[in-house]
């Protein structure tokens, strides 16, 4: 287990009231959060979204990505389902951090795609560790989920960690002229399961 469960409190939102559960990485003290909606106990697979931190998309309304659109759509889907979990995974910029993400954006402004920009800065295309998310689910007492994702890597990592994924639920929202190249690159170079929406 790479994490400990350290805090929880109610979080009222426009979608309803969630339980916000804080987790801390044992080795680094870096924190992650789960938003839990409704009763997640029982045998029925829980609708779950792993959402990687994206300050620019989630909080600053950037159109360069689809992150903010996915965050809101996932919360809406969970609320409509009546139960579910959103894991807010604190690994900004596919794990390279906010400042390096801004540097990658500058390279993209010069014609690099998102993968080329990360590699030009000396990083792998995607440095995120999704095994933390399996630990968060285990600490929440959940081992069977329906995963809201377009990313097959999330499915593979969680499955290998013992989480049973009964369904991959696509989450294709937010395509626009500012992010279409970014989304096409995710499909072509990172294997994301994206169709044109």
The binding site for Zn(2+) comprises 54, 65, 67
∠ CA 73-137-42, nearest 5°, is 90
Q: If we measure between CA atoms, which residue out of 120, 89, 105, 96 comes closest to residue 182?
A: 105
Q: Rounded CA gap, 116 and 121, in Å? A: 9
Active-site choice (58, 66, 113, 128): 128
Catalytic member of 58, 113, 126, 135? 126
Q: Looking at the chain, how many residues does it have?
A: 197
CA 92 – CA 98 distance, rounded (Å): 6
Per the annotation, binding residues are 49-54, 65, 67, 70, 92-94, 114, 149, 154
Other C-beta atoms closer than 10 Å to the C-beta of 25 total: 16
CA dihedral (31, 127, 117, 34) positive or negative? negative
Q: Annotated catalytic, 128?
A: yes
Do 153 and 130 contact (CB within 8 A), yes or no? yes
Binding positions for GTP: 49-53, 70, 92-94, 114, 149, 154
Among all chains, which residue has been given the structure tokens 């998309």? 57
Give the integer Cα–Cα distance in Å for 163 and 134. 7
Cβ neighbours for 156, distance < 8 A, ≥ 6 positions apart = none
Tokens describing residue 129: 């560790």
> Which residue numbers are catalytic?
126, 128
């Amino acid at each position: 287990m790479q994490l400990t469960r350290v805090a929880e409190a109610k979080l009222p939102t426009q979608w309803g009231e969630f339980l916000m559960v804080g987790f801390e990485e044992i080795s680094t003290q870096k924190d992650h959060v789960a938003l839990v909606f409704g009763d997640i106990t029982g045998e029925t697979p829980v609708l779950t979204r792993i959402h990687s931190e994206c300050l620019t998309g989630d909080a600053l309304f950037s159109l360069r990505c689809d992150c903010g659109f996915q965050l809101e759509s996932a919360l809406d889907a969970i609320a409509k389902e009546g139960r579910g979990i959103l894991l807010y995974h604190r690994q900004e910029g596919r794990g390279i951090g906010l400042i390096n993400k801004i540097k990658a954006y500058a390279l993209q402004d010069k014609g690099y795609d998102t993968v080329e920009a990360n590699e030009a800065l000396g990083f792998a295309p995607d440095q995120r560790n999704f095994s933390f998310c399996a630990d968060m689910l285990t600490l929440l007492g959940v081992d069977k989920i329906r995963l809201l994702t377009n990313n097959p890597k999330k499915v593979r990592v969680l499955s290998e960690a013992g989480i049973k994924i009964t369904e991959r639920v696509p989450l294709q929202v937010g395509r626009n002229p500012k992010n279409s190249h970014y989304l096409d690159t995710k499909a072509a170079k990172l294997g994301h399961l994206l169709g044109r929406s």
